[in-house]
Amino acid sequence: MHKHLIAAAILKTMPRKYAKIGIVFKQRRSYEKIALSTLVSCWDLLRLILLFFSPQWTHFDKLIVAPQGVVKVKDNFAYVEKYEDLLAWPSTLVVIRSTRGVPTKRAKNLYDLTFVYVFVIFISFIITHLHCKKHLMSACQISCLTHIFKMLLIRKSNVFISDWNNPFSISCILAAKKRSIQSFELQHGVIHKNHPAYNFSSKKVQQISCDYLYYWMMPQNKSFISKLYPHEKQIYFKPTQHGTFLRKSSKSIDILFSLQDSNSSNFIEAFLPLIENMVKANIVIKPRRELSKKLRSRIYSQAPHVKVTSNNDFSALLKASYVHVSHSSTTLLDGALEKNLLNICFDFDGTALQRNPVIKDLLTNNQVVLITTKEDWLSLWSNLQT
C-alpha cells in the first residue's frame, strides 16, 4: 500500500490543489452557505451509515464517484451526464465530493461527502505539519479516504469514476483494487497528451488508475493513453444525445457564451466589443464559476443587455440556444453533440488549438467553426441574419 501512496503523492496535479486546508473555503461564499453545506453533508453521511446497515444496501451494484458538475438528477435519481444509458439509476449509488456548495437538487441515491472530505484534509494538514513533511499531505488524505471507501465496497459492486486524478477518486480506486473490484473511468472533458491527468512517462501510474476507460472523444492519435490504458482496456461509448431526458423547449437564446476559469477575463475582454451593439439579440454568458464583481460590472457597463446565468444545467442551455461560443473549453465538445446548434471556437489569442487539441478533430468533422478576428465574427453574424 505504501508504494501506492508515494506514487499518488507525487502526482503533479495534487500538491498545489490540496496544499492548504483553507483552499476549500477561499471561494466567495457566505458563512451561512458554508454552514448549510456542512449540515447537509453530515446528514448525507448519516444517511449513508444507516443505508449501510439496511437490507437495501444489497440492491446497489454500481458506485459512482463524481464531482457535482457532472451529476444530473431526474425523477429523484442521480446519474452522470452522457452516461444515462450505461448507468441504471435505481441500482446506482452516487457519491460526490463537492466544495462548491449544496447540490441544487436531491436524489435518493445521491450522497455529498463534502464534510468528510474537508475533515480528512484537516487531519492530513495537522499530520503534515507535525512531521514537517509536505509530501505526506496527499498520502494522509488517500490513506484515510481509502478506509472509508473500503467500507462502502464491502459488498461487491462495480466502481465508476469521473475525474480520477484527485485524492478522493484515487482513494476509491485503491479501495476497489483491495476488494478485487473492477473500476471504470468515465470520460469527463477532453483527453489529450498534454492533460496533466494523462501526461505520464511511466506505466507506474497504472497502479492508481482505473482498470478500464469509457471514452467518447479523443484525438485520432491516441497512442499516449496506452501508458495508462492499454488498447484492450479502452471502451468506446456513444454518449446519450443532449435533451434525451429534458423537457422539450423552443430556442430562446440567440448566443450562449461559455467561460473557463483559466482565461475568463481575457475572453470577456475579447468578445465584449463584438456584442456591445447587438442590443436586440438575447445573449447569455455562462461562467464555470461565479464571476468576480469587477468582471460583472465590466460586462453590465459595456453590454447591459447581456445576461449572466448561474444555471448549472448546461445541457438545457445548449438545447435552448441557436449559437454557442467558447474559446477552448470542453463545452465545445458538448456543443458538438447538440443538433441544430452553431458551435463556434473564438480563438482570439491563437492558443485554443494548443489548449484543447481535440478542437482539430471537431474542425475536421465540421462540428465547430473557427473564428479569430472581429471581422470573422461580423461576417458570420451578418450571414446568419440573412
Name the range with the highest mean pLDDT among 102-116, 202-216, 234-248.
202-216
Query: How long, in residues, is the chain?
Result: 386
Q: What pLDDT was estimated at residue 202? A: 65
Least confident of 76-80, 216-220, 232-236, 362-366: 216-220
Q: Give the residue from 171, 384, 121 showing the smallest Cα distance to 278.
A: 384
Mean per-residue pLDDT, 271-280:
90
Between 41 and 249, where is the model more confident? 41
Q: Is the confidence at residue 132, as pLDDT, over 90?
A: no
Q: Is the confidence at residue 241, as pLDDT, over 80?
A: no
d(CA 261, CA 246): 27
Q: What pLDDT was estimated at residue 19? A: 37
Residues 89 and 204 in one domain: yes
For residue 324, name the pLDDT band (cuts at 50, 70, 90). very high
Domain boundary among 236, 262, 284: 236
Q: Give the distance between the most distant pair of CA atoms in the chain.
A: 69
Whether 291 and 272 have beta carbons less than 8 Å apart is answered as: no
Residues 149 and 175 in one domain: yes
Residues 301 and 349 in one domain: yes
* Exposure of 272 in the CB half-sphere (CA atoms within 13 A): 18
Report if residue 104 sits inside a domain: yes
Report if residue 368 sits inside a domain: yes
Q: What pLDDT was estimated at residue 235? A: 92
Mean per-residue pLDDT, 356-385:
86
Residues 171 and 279 in one domain: no
Residues 178 and 57 in one domain: yes
Residues 289 and 144 in one domain: no
Mean per-residue pLDDT, 196-211:
76
Domain boundary among 202, 236, 270: 236
Beta-sheet pairing, 77-80 with 212-215: unpaired
Q: What pLDDT was estimated at residue 131? A: 65
- Characterize 89-101 residue by residue with b for buried, 16 or more Cβ atoms within 10 angstroms of its Cβ, and e for exposed: beebbbbbbbbbb
Residues 72 and 164 in one domain: yes
Q: What pLDDT was estimated at residue 342? A: 92
Between 172 and 311, where is the model more confident? 172
Grid coordinates of 102: 449544496
Report if residue 185 sits inside a domain: yes
For the chain, the domain total comes to: 2
Between 163 and 69, where is the model more confident? 163
Residue with cell 479523443: 218
Report if residue 226 sits inside a domain: yes
pLDDT digits (tens, 9 = 90+) for 54-100: 888 888 889 999 887 788 888 888 888 888 888 888 889 999 887 65
Between 240 and 294, where is the model more confident? 294
d(CA 335, CA 350): 21
Q: What pLDDT was estimated at residue 244? A: 38
In this structure, what CATH number is given to the domain that contains residue 272?
3.40.50.2000
Residues 185 and 269 in one domain: no
Residues 305 and 214 in one domain: no
Average pLDDT, the chain: 79
Q: What pLDDT was estimated at residue 23? A: 38
Name the range with the highest mean pLDDT among 48-52, 153-157, 184-188.
184-188
Report if residue 244 sits inside a domain: no
Q: What pLDDT was estimated at residue 343? A: 93
Report if residue 225 sits inside a domain: yes
Whether 128 and 134 have beta carbons less than 8 Å apart is answered as: yes
In the chain, the percentage of residues whose pLDDT exceeds 90 is 23
Residues 123 and 268 in one domain: no
Which residue range is the domain that position 367 belongs to?
253-385
Residues 267 and 223 in one domain: no
Residues 46 and 189 in one domain: yes
Report if residue 242 sits inside a domain: no
Report if residue 245 sits inside a domain: no
**SS (HEC) of the chain:** CHHHHHHHHCCCCCCCCCCCHHHHHCCCCCHHHHHHHHHHHHHHHHHHHHHHCCHHHHHCCEEEEECHHHEEEECCEEEECCCCCCCCCCCEEEEECCCCCCCCCCCCCEEECHHHHHHHHHHHHHHHHHHCCCCHHHHHHHHHHHHHHHHHCCCCCEEEEECCCCHHHHHHHHHHHHCCCCEEEECCCCCCCCCCCCCCCCHHHHHHCCCEEEECCCCCCCHHHHHCCCHHHEEECCCCCCCCCCCCCCCCEEEEEECCCCCHHHHHHHHHHHHCCCCCCCEEEECCCCCCHHHHHHHHHHCCCCEECCCCCHHHHHHCEEEEEECCCCHHHHHHHCCCCEEEEECCCCCHHHHCCHHHHHHHCCCCEEECCHHHHHHHHHHHHC
Q: What pLDDT was estimated at residue 134? A: 58
